[in-house]
Amino acid sequence: MRLLHRILSKKSKTSKQSQTSKQSQASKQIQTSKQSQASQIESEALDREELLLEIATRRKRQRFLRDPFRRKPSFLIGPTNSADQGSLWSRSLNRSGFSAASLRISVDPDAEWFTADISIPRNEWLEFGNRQNFAEEVASSFDIVLVESLRPIFRLRNMNDGSHRILEDFDLLAKIGKRVGVIFHGSDIRDVDAHAARNPYSPFGGDREEVESLRVRSNENRALLPELRRRKLPIFVTTKDLLVEVPDAHWLPVAIDFPRFHEIAVSSPIYSGNSGNSGNSGTQGKLRVLYLPSRSWLKSAGIIDPILRKLSEEGLISYVSYVENGANIPHDQIPALLAESDLVIDQFLGVIGVFPIEALAAGRLVMSYMPNEESSTPIINVTPVTLESEIRRVAAERPVPAGGAEYARRWHDGRESVSAIRRAF
């Protein structure tokens, strides 16, 4: 029995050793396979980058042979085209003798209000081959890429190492000799907590779910600022309040289609009482007020709308509320709404965005809150406390707008935007 036990025990040990050896061998094979796979992926990535570099180099050579004295680079701006700014900046650059195009990677291009020069449906962008083809197009067609909101454009390596997903795009663009700048539009970089601390009327003071979503996104982007500086990438912000948070950034003024909106001042002057399809028919003697919040909570609709409804019920103003569907008004309808309005109410955020600048260009009065350091903007500066009394004053006095159209032309017809880009590069 003892002999049998020794034999069985020896067989069991031999079996376990054999099993352990097989497991170890299998583990080594898997590890070797993963290393081989990773090596192959890295090799393919390097081959792609070499191809893109060759395409970019060929482009530079062809441009030099075509015109040895040409010095103006070509620009790609994207991939968000927020508020059509990428397209408007591109047109301004084109008018100044540069070559430029805007890019929008969109979930549903057919539902877009604005048209980018290059539009890529996101489901197509997700296919690797399409991203590779677009990278080749960029390599062969552009010299400088202005990246909006740190959103990725290529992601050819699609790395998941915990780093920000835009960094691999920056690495790729650097390898193929492209210069890069970064554009922030507002909520993509604004510190909501700092804003709430310095602005008594900030919409970011509560615990709304939307505020937390903005906080997470802006914190992620702000954490990358030291890396952008290390790489010496020009940083642009579109509103001056953001210079408080990113003091080394360049102010890149938003651009508008100035001729289109200024034509309204000529064809439908303020207080003219022209009626159309906006619901203001028959109210020619009343002050026509337009309030068009893209996001009600952000634009303080809970404060502004009740005041306007009250004054409308008194018969002092003509007001049609767009609080429920303001975000759904297509941009091509804005000129008609402005033509049938005298006064535009904006917000208490402390910034002047695209819509109020369009209103100024159209010769309309604009009410908004601006901190003291921005008081030179030709608007009627109001707070939640003074809004109602200021509207009553305008309804009684009917003041003529002063300096609004000139301000919009001077800073926001696109020329100053081009100057800001030229200075940065």
Residue 361 belongs to what domain range? 258-412
Same domain, 220 and 263: no
**pLDDT at res. 139:** 95
Residue 130 sits in the same domain as residue 231: yes
17 found inside a domain:
no
- Mean pLDDT computed over 6-27: 51
Residue with the bigger pLDDT between 69 and 48: it is 48
Domain assignment of residue 26, yes or no = no
User: In this structure, are 196 and 331 located in the same domain?
Assistant: no
The residue type of 401 is: P
Can you give the pLDDT at residue 44?
67
For residue 119, give the DSSP letter.
E
* Domain identity same for 198 and 269: no
In whole angstroms, give the CA distance from residue 191 to residue 187: 8
In-domain check, residue 385: yes
Do residue 420 and residue 396 come from a single domain?
no
Does 238 share its domain with 343? no
Question: Do you know the residue count of the chain?
Answer: 425
Answer yes or no: is 16 within a domain. no
Specify whether 246 is located in the same domain as 266: no
Give the pLDDT confidence score for residue 140 in this predicted structure: 94
Residue 81: which residues within 8 A CB-CB, separation 6 or more? 87, 102, 103, 104, 114, 116, 148
- 350 versus 324: the higher-pLDDT residue is 350
- Please indicate, yes or no, whether residues 247 and 270 belong to a single structural domain of this protein: no
- The pLDDT of residue 411 is above 50: yes
Residues 65 and 205 in one domain: yes
pLDDT band for position 237 (50/70/90)? very high
pLDDT digits (tens, 9 = 90+) for 339-395: 999 999 999 999 999 999 999 999 999 999 998 756 678 999 999 999 999 999 999
Q: Please indicate, yes or no, whether residues 176 and 244 belong to a single structural domain of this protein.
A: yes
pLDDT band of 45, cuts 50, 70, 90: low
The domain that holds 64 is classified in CATH as 3.40.50
Q: Is the pLDDT of residue 29 over 90?
A: no
Same domain, 226 and 267: no
Distance, in Å, from the CA atom of 190 to the CA atom of 184, rounded to the nearest integer, reads 9
**What's the confidence (pLDDT) of residue 206?**
78
Question: 424, 410 in Cβ contact below 8 A?
Answer: no
85 and 185 in contact (C-beta within 8 Å)?
yes
Q: What is the CATH number of the domain that holds 328?
A: 3.40.50.2000
Residue 33 lies in a domain: no
Task: Please count the structural domains in the chain.
Answer: 2
Give CA–CA dist 184/236, Å, rounded.
Answer: 6
Residues 233, 180: contact at Cβ < 8 Å? yes
pTM: 0.84
Phi-psi region of 139 (alpha: psi -120 to 50; beta: other; left: phi over 0): alpha
Q: Quick check: is 28 in a domain? A: no
Shared-domain flag, residues 296 and 227: no
Q: What's the rounded Cα separation, in Å, for the pair 266 and 305?
A: 29
- Residue 3: inside a domain, yes or no? no
Average pLDDT over residues 100-110: 90
Q: Would residue 145 be called left, alpha or beta, if left means φ above 0 and alpha means ψ between -120 and 50 degrees?
A: beta
Per-residue pLDDT, 72: 87
Least Cα distance to 347 among 363, 333, 359, 335 occurs for 359
Within a domain: 5: no
pLDDT at 324 over 50: yes
- Whether omega before 79 lies within 30 degrees of 0, making that bond cis, reads yes
- Provide the greatest CA pair distance for the chain: 116
| Sequence-distant (≥ 6) Cβ neighbours of residue 30 within 8 angstroms | none
Task: Kindly state the helix (H) or strand (E) to which residue 323 belongs, with its residue range.
Answer: none
